């Protein structure tokens, strides 16, 4: 279909194609960056939960905190925030949990807006290329005084090609944006569920008549990269 299409000429004569090419490069760069980042933060949340529960059953809250702190999955910072502030009132502890989840969401969603932007704007840029190509076809007709197929072919081809190129950039960007959004939701849900499970385990291990220990100080606050 495209064996006779002059790609270099299209890039040289169509500024819209240059913009679409730049969008495709940017999209690919951020897709690679996000895949690498999520691979680094994948961790093993279920193994962390089991190891932390084993520490809590033996009464080692600090050990459970260290297990969480050593994990790159969002369950590490979120569960660590719960264990670090387990001495607080339940309402205050709930606030700490929500703050930790919000912080993790901000980190996980970083650079994700670029994919959403590319998915929304690439079709519009392709539409701009369509208008540009039609204008070029009419200009060629006016310049030559002829409406023959050979006169308007270049402009029409540019119009159709830029539309297709815009869609080729937009469709993968939208699919990957939805994929990463879903992945973030799953990771944060798992982190919240595991953190609440650890919280219940700590509370169940404390005597019902004993006050919440206000002197529990566990490590330093977790810093999210």
* 24-81 confidence digits (pLDDT tens): 999 999 999 999 999 999 989 999 999 999 999 888 889 999 999 889 999 999 999 9
Q: Helices 15-40 and 149-205 meet at what angle, rounded to 10?
A: 20
Q: What is the pLDDT of residue 4?
A: 54
Query: Band of the pLDDT at 96, cuts 50, 70, 90?
Result: very high
Dist CA 121 CA 166 (whole Å): 9
Contacts of 158 (CB under 8 A, 6+ apart): 10, 13, 14, 17, 129, 132, 133, 136
Q: Tell me the pLDDT tens digit for each residue of 116-165.
A: 999 999 999 988 888 888 887 777 777 776 666 666 666 777 778 888 88
Flag whether pLDDT at 86 surpasses 60: yes
- How many Cβ atoms sit within 10 Å of the Cβ of residue 126? 26
CB 175 within 8 A of CB 115: no
- What is this structure's pTM? 0.79
């Amino acid at each position: 279909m495209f064996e006779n299409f002059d790609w270099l000429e299209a890039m040289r004569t169509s500024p819209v194609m240059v913009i679409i090419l730049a969008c495709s490069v940017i999209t690919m760069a951020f897709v690679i960056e996000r895949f690498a980042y999520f691979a680094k933060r994948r961790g093993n949340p279920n193994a962390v939960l089991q190891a932390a529960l084993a520490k809590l059953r033996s009464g080692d809250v600090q050990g459970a905190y260290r297990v969480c702190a050593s994990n790159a999955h969002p369950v590490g910072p979120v569960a660590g925030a719960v264990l670090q502030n387990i001495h607080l009132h339940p309402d205050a502890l709930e606030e700490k949990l929500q703050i930790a989840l919000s912080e993790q969401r901000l980190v996980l969603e970083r650079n994700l807006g670029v994919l959403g932007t590319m998915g929304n704007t690439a079709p519009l840029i392709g539409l701009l290329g369509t208008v540009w190509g039609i204008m070029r076809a009419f200009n060629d007709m006016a310049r030559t005084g002829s409406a023959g197929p050979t006169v308007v072919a270049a402009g029409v081809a540019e119009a159709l090609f830029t539309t297709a190129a815009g869609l080729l950039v937009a469709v993968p960007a939208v699919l990957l944006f939805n994929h990463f959004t879903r992945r973030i939701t799953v990771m944060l849900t798992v982190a919240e569920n595991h953190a609440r499970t650890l919280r219940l385990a700590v509370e169940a291990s404390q005597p019902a008549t004993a006050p919440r220990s206000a002197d529990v100080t566990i490590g330093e606050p977790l810093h999210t990269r």
